[in-house]
Amino acid sequence: MNRYELEICRDDRLWCRIIIDVPWAADVVSDLDQHFPASEGYSRRLFQATESRRLLESSADGVRLITLDYALEEVHMPDQLP
């Protein structure tokens, strides 16, 4: 499954970032486009995670995830969504 981050701006100021990690990502983006229309000053950029980095800790208690970081690449909407 792909992971996306949708960045929504209003009047050229960052308004929010939404993480989308469901198989129906194209439907989610389409729905958000209707809720945040350009006619009301909204713009958006879509990023896809291209890789992830994990920092793990190993101890007698087992393995623990310390942090998870994603490398993001901007993609054009909506034609590049699965």
DSSP annotation of 32 reads H
Query: What tokens does 7 get?
Result: 């960045």
Query: What tokens does 59 get?
Result: 């101890």
pLDDT tens digits along 6-57: 999 999 999 999 999 999 988 998 899 899 999 999 999 999 999 989 999 9
pLDDT tens digits along 48-81: 999 989 999 999 999 999 999 999 999 886 555 5
Edge-first strand order for the sheet with 62-75 is 13-20, 4-10, 42-59, 62-75
